Every structure is written in structure tokens, then in C-alpha cells.
């Protein structure tokens, strides 16, 4: 993997994750309690409801990115609020 | 009640992240920062930042030290809309902004 020359898979996943961020913000501004899924510290990985490839990629990010004591929180985007509360996982 | 949400998003397996700060009261956004940081040579390098400093929404292009090279004022809309548009712009153009950082 070359951080200077991005491969098509990295480009694809990055773009999708940014789109997920946009989707989360839109949903959370409509229903502000969704912000409760965001931790006060650490990092967030979003999970889409409808893209298995991205789900697998983002799950793989968790052990790779978890360095030191960084907490990684998985946040599902595009699911009902009750299910969001039940799916929060602290790694 | 005014609330500040701060979080960073992992966006790829290179280690790039997006830092987000949203100051809001309910659905109203009072201020925000969205900053893309590229993992280059084992260091996170701020690449581009959208924020509401100085009282208006704008986009800052950054150098290797995270300093503003130049900025562009974005649309004069309420900050909730400006925030969504900032993320949309980042989603569309992140690769170009990242490449531009490498060229500086």
C-alpha cells in the first residue's frame, strides 16, 4: 500500500466512508439523540446498513487503527434509533 | 443547552481520518470544524479544513504544518446546511486535496 499513490480500493472505501459521515450528520441533525452514539473520546468507525464490502473493510480497520489506548466505537448509520443504542460496541 | 460533539472518523486503512467538531443546540448548528488528515510518513497531516471561525463558513487549504495557505468562503447559508455541504465537498474532492498536499 502506497500512501502517496492511492489504489482504487482505498479511494472507493474513503469516498464511501465520507459519504457515510454525511449521512450520519444529516440523520443526527434531524434526530439529535443520534449524537449520543458518538463517544466523548476515541475514534469512530461507521457501519452502513447496505454495503457488505464496506462493512468488512471497516471492521478490519478496528484492530489496525487501535493503537495504544485508543477506543474505537462502531456506529451504525441508517438504522432505527433503538437499534443504534443496542449496537454500540466499544473495542 | 449548547453541546459540543467531537469525534474522529477512520476513513481508510492508510490511517487517514476526519476530525469533526460540532457545536449545536438541538438541531441548530452554532459552529463546526471538519478537517481531513492524511497519514503521510507515519504522521497525520492536516490537509483541508472547513470551519466557521471568523463568523462565516469557509474552506482552508493547509500546508504541511497545518497552516492556512489560502481560504475560500463558502455559501452564505445557515451553518447546518454549510456543514452538510462541507462534507459533500470533501466526499467529492478529498483525493484531489490530498494529492495537492503531497505536491506542496
- Tell me: the pLDDT tens digits for B68-93? 998 988 888 999 999 999 999 999 99
Strands B3-10 and A43-47: parallel
Domains of chain A: which residue ranges? Answer: 8-89
CA-to-CA distance for B91 and A74, rounded, in angstroms? 20
**Per-residue pLDDT at A90:** 46
**Per-residue pLDDT at A71:** 81
Residue of B nearest to A10 (CA): B12
Cβ separation A61–B16 shorter than 8 A: no
Query: CB–CB of B69/B41 below 8 Å?
Result: no
- Residue B58 to residues B9, B45, B101: CA-CA distances in angstroms? 21, 19, 18
CB contacts of B39 in chain A (<8 Å) are 3
Question: Within chain B, which residues score under 70 in pLDDT?
Answer: none
Q: Check if B90 contacts A (Cβ < 8 Å).
A: yes
B71 grid coordinates: 481560504
- In the DSSP assignment, the letter for residue A69 is T
Mutual angle of helices A52-65 and A8-30, in 10-degree steps: 100
Q: What are the mean pLDDT values of chain A's consecutive 10-residue runs (91 residues total)?
A: 79 97 96 91 89 92 63 83 49 42
Cβ separation B20–A17 shorter than 8 A: no
**Per-residue pLDDT at A44:** 93
**Per-residue pLDDT at A2:** 64
Provide the percentage of residues in chain B whose pLDDT is more than 70: 100
Q: Check if A12 contacts B (Cβ < 8 Å).
A: no
- pLDDT, one tens digit per residue, over A1-12 is 566 779 999 999
**Per-residue pLDDT at B103:** 83
> How many CA atoms, within 13 angstroms, populate the side-chain half-sphere of residue B98?
25
Q: Nearest C-alpha of chain A: how many angstroms from B54?
A: 23
Residue of A nearest to B22 (CA): A25
From chain A residues 17-76, the ones with a CB under 8 A of any chain B CB are 17-19, 21-22, 25-26, 29-30, 32, 35, 38-40, 43-46, 57-58, 60-61, 64-65, 72
Amino acid at each position: 500500500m502506497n500512501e502517496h499513490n492511492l489504489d482504487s480500493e482505498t479511494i472507493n472505501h474513503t469516498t464511501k466512508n465520507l459519504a457515510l459521515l454525511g449521512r450520519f450528520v444529516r440523520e443526527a441533525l434531524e434526530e439529535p439523540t443520534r449524537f449520543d452514539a458518538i463517544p466523548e473520546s476515541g475514534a469512530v468507525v461507521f457501519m452502513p446498513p447496505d454495503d457488505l464490502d464496506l462493512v468488512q473493510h471497516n471492521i478490519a480497520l478496528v484492530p489496525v487503527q487501535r493503537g495504544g489506548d485508543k477506543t474505537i466505537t462502531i456506529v451504525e448509520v441508517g438504522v432505527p434509533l433503538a437499534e443504534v443504542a443496542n449496537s454500540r460496541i466499544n473495542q | 443547552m449548547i453541546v459540543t460533539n467531537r469525534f474522529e472518523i477512520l476513513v481508510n486503512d492508510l490511517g487517514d481520518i476526519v476530525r469533526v467538531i460540532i457545536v449545536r443546540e438541538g438541531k441548530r448548528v452554532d459552529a463546526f470544524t471538519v478537517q481531513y488528515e492524511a497519514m503521510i510518513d507515519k504522521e497525520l497531516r492536516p490537509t483541508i479544513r472547513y470551519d466557521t471561525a471568523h463568523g462565516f463558513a469557509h474552506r482552508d487549504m493547509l500546508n504541511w504544518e497545518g497552516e492556512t495557505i489560502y481560504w475560500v468562503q463558502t455559501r452564505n447559508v445557515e451553518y447546518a446546511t454549510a456543514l452538510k455541504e462541507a462534507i459533500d465537498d470533501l466526499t467529492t474532492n478529498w483525493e484531489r486535496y490530498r494529492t495537492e498536499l503531497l505536491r506542496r
